[in-house]
Chains A and B, each alone.
Chain A
């Protein structure tokens, strides 16, 4: 229904622009500014919810502002030398196509996640890893995140590319944020801050609308460290207790003027108008996918209670050394959806 409304708006808009193009040749005097556009934009900015396509002409579908935090990889690399609008548009189409196959949930740095990857060399053909997301980056199809865990007293980090066709499933076991955008300091922290049980179950949140910020302050091991953490203005770390000379040198080396450098900020950001365009382009499809998944989940919840499981544990999330892990989507009713285990077809 939403799609039809959007298509209708699009068709009306097309017809209108065609009419305008013909009208111009007859009655145009000088090229005038159109102040109407900016006032429309102002309205859109104030409206945080998405506006559905109306029957009247010039409405624009706008995504809610949280979209840029939930899907940051849809925004392109801000470096001007590497911007290519066509390439970005094609990438977004591919990203949506991949998301229709595999659910890539909303997550942030500091969330505990489990990723199942197809692995030809493992006995189960799958490899599952649980860890805390310490960093995420990349844009478009190259978007990645790093999961960290301590397994048998050995710290392990794995970089996963979100749109890699080998990835079978991404689950968020605990959705939360931390005080910093990058948790690389966990490498120098005490191991208990990076340890998560491999058979951790997904935690249910009471309040679904707000992502909680965990105000945890981590204790670091004594020096030497991998980086000079005292120079990085970290919020999520306990008092470092270093001799004063470290802080003095940090002050000497600091660049406090960068905070005021407006052009530096501009070159690192995608302007708001472009962001709105990109997410308006993409959000209706994302919402449709979300909706379909909800329905599928409800169906499978109903059917799970009736299904007889053979050779499978009651807890779908437990890793097993022997025997196969059967994802829960395979147990849904026949004809609902097929699980794609084979290679990605381009």
Chain B
């Protein structure tokens, strides 16, 4: 009670995890929620980039990250991990893809394995809007342009130094002229 569960060792997820899970209404009730998310996670692993509604994308992102992090931590000989992979991936060839393709791809990652990009909110429609959920390292062209930090590139470093020199030279010049003015008065 209030103590952390010790039965399983879990890797830290590198996405923002909300404290409470979302409910998805469906005829089967709470059982149906996991069925829906299962379909989403299967599609994500199969197609590596899917467009869907934002709430489901956020929930599925968590489950996909957990599945991949468990596969990386425990490998395919671990009984519990294999059971989870078997449950979450409806198509059995994707279990092979998870352990043979995705695990080596994400072995040395220090960031999250998935990326959630907000999509268009078409009017009229679902208010919360769409999202694109993709696995990093997928073969498709990037959704967003890559941002590089150009601050430390040589030409920028030289320009910064030149700016500093110019400003200090200007200060010295101004100081020189004011001194001469005060001396005269």
Are A and B subunits of one complex?
A: yes
Contact residues of A with B, CB < 8 Å? 25, 27-31, 33-35, 37-39, 68-69, 72-73, 75-81, 135-139, 142-143, 255, 257, 260-275
The CA-CA distance from A274 to B12 in the complex, in Å, is 8
In the complex, given contacts A80-B18, A80-B19, A257-B31, what are 15 additional A-B residue pairs having Cβ atoms less than 8 angstroms apart? A25-B152, A28-B152, A30-B148, A34-B110, A68-B6, A78-B5, A79-B19, A255-B30, A262-B62, A262-B63, A269-B9, A269-B10, A272-B10, A272-B73, A273-B12
A23 to chain B, nearest CB (A): 12
The CA-CA distance from A325 to B8 in the complex, in Å, is 43
B4 and A260 form a contact (CB under 8 A): no
B2 and A138 form a contact (CB under 8 A): yes
Nearest opposing residue in chain A for B73, CB measure: A272
Contact with A along B118-153 (1 / 0, CB 8 A): 000000000000000000000000000000110011
The CA-CA distance from A35 to B73 in the complex, in Å, is 15
A150 to chain B, nearest CB (A): 24
B8 and A265 form a contact (CB under 8 A): yes
- Contact A266 to B4, CB < 8 A, known contacts A257-B30, A257-B34, A261-B34: no
A72 and B19 form a contact (CB under 8 A): no
- Contact A138 to B3, CB < 8 A, known contacts A28-B152, A262-B67, A271-B12: yes
- Contact A33 to B17, CB < 8 A, known contacts A76-B4, A257-B30: no
Give the residues in chain A near B12, CB-CB below 8 Å: 271-274
The CA-CA distance from A78 to B7 in the complex, in Å, is 14
* Interface residue? B21 (CB, 8 A): yes
A251 to chain B, nearest CB (A): 13
A272 and B148 form a contact (CB under 8 A): no
The CA-CA distance from A272 to B17 in the complex, in Å, is 16
* Interface residue? B76 (CB, 8 A): no
